[in-house]
A = this chain, B = another copy of it.
Amino acid sequence: MPLDRELMRGAGPVAVLKLLERREMYGYELVEALEQRTDGVLAMGQSTLYPMLYNLEGKGLVASRWDDSGPRGRKYYRLTGTGKRRLAADTAQWNAVTGAMRQLGIVGRLAADPARALEYRLAIPTAGLAPSNGLRP
């Protein structure tokens, strides 16, 4: 359920870094977690997530290792020290931007209400259309 690409450019990477703050995760697991943990708002397909991970790794914000112990090989990603600092900075920026949007009257003082989140999610343009990038319908 696609979020506007320009918003995803600002939100996607920091959301991924935040998920990796708690524990290392493999790619496909991140796809699932973004869907589950944000009620689909920040859902992204493999064609978005994997290049994003390569980019984050290229910048030294995450590091990866292969785990071939299961039936399928999995590439696990973890936050680096640089990544943790970047996450802190991005988190501050996101709070600043959210504050600014509130000042303008775009974002309200919204409680962390999943029902409300779903309400807004349904308002997203093209809601219900399944993109052809591997996202679940």
Q: Footprint of B on A, CB under 8 Å?
A: 3-4, 6-11, 13-15, 18-19, 37-39, 41-42, 89-114, 116-117, 120-121, 123-125
Contact = CB atoms under 8 A, between A and B. Distances in A.
A80 B82 CA distance: 45
Nearest to A116: B99
B38 A106 contact: no
Contacts of A117: 96, 99-100, 103
B112 A112 contact: no
Given A3-B93, A123-B93, A11 B107 contact: no
Given A7-B10, A10-B9, A104-B38, A112 B92 contact: no
